[in-house]
Structure 1
Amino acid sequence: MADQTARQRARRAALDAQARMRARRAEQERRRDALGVVVVSALAERDAVVAACEARAGEALAKMTEQEGLSLADAVEWCGGADLLTVREAARLRQAAQPSAVVRPGREARTTDADARADRVGGAGAAQGGSDGGRAIG
């Protein structure tokens, strides 16, 4: 009988230890879950702010090329030159600011083939006939 009682106490001690370990792991998992949500939320907020800032920059670049008649390279120079902004990045920003931009997998966003040709020759004004492209620009 003494062996059975000792085994029961040992079994109870092992089960209690395992229950404490499971409780610690569950609490640790809850903390990690909450921290993961904080990280993903912060990244989503960052992405929204970056998108808004890039849209403002793209709109200003579009005005520089469409309304002011600058080439994209000249607009980049007015923005501080290639140390701050490359022509390629300026083209991406300007294109992303277009409200009717269509994104196709594996290609840059383009609204029309004329826009693509205009970008290759250095300005969107030719593709849009020098107009504002139907957008209200204020």
Structure 2
Amino acid sequence: MGKQTIRQEARRAALDAQSRRREERAERERRVEALAIKVLVAIREREAADRRAGEALTEMIETERLSAREAVQWCGDEVSTREVARLRRVAADAANPAAQEEADLGGVVSQ
């Protein structure tokens, strides 16, 4: 086998290996991208569900004049009073975007 043939075969083998690695990386990137989308969708869905739950709890407490403890009892102890407070904050923040923006900035208000 000549020197030139050996080089050509070696070059072809190296190019094939590089091509396979590029394809494997591209496939992995597609899988990771799809998983990232699933994560973000689930988070947004959870945030929307938390907001709706907080709105309902706020209505129970403010409109129907229940205490947080009574709201917990009406919900079959599926939530705690601490969770009621958190969900109500989520709903209040969603209703007041300026307050949410301020909280996101760590309470710093630009002047």
TM-score (norm 1): 0.66
Aligned to 2:83: 89
Aligned to 2:47: 51
What's the secondary structure of 2:71's corresponding residue?
helix
Q: Does 1:25 align with 2:18?
A: no
Higher normalized helix content (fraction of residues):
2
Residue among 60, 70, 83 paired with 1:64: 60
Residue identity matched to 2:80:
T
Residue identity matched to 1:36:
V
Task: Report the CA distance between 1:6 and its aligned residue.
Answer: 2.3
Give the ranges of 4+ consecutive aligned residues of structure 1 lying more than 6 Å apart after TM superposition.
none
Query: Identity rate of aligned residues, in percent?
Result: 34
Specify whether residues 10 and 33 from structure 1 end up closer, same or farther in structure 2 by C-alpha distance, changes over 3 A only: same
Residue among 36, 50, 54 paired with 2:32: 36
Task: Report the CA distance between 1:106 and its aligned residue.
Answer: 7.4
What are structure 1's unaligned runs of at least 5 residues? 108-138
Residue identity matched to 1:32:
R
CA displacement 1:72-124 (0-9 Å, x = unmatched): 1111111111xx211111110011101124325779xxxxxxxxxxxxxxxxx
Distance in 1 of aligned mates of 2:79 and 2:69: 10
Distance in 2 of aligned mates of 1:14 and 1:77: 74
What's the secondary structure of 1:97's corresponding residue?
helix
Number of residue pairs aligned between Structure 1 and Structure 2:
101
Aligned to 1:112: none
Task: Report the CA distance between 1:7 and its aligned residue.
Answer: 2.2
Distance in 2 of aligned mates of 1:77 and 1:47: 27
Aligned to 1:124: none
Aligned to 2:75: 79
Aligned to 1:131: none
Task: Report the CA distance between 1:40 and its aligned residue.
Answer: 1.0
Please identify the structure whose Cα radius of gyration is greater: 1
What are structure 2's unaligned runs of at least 5 residues? none
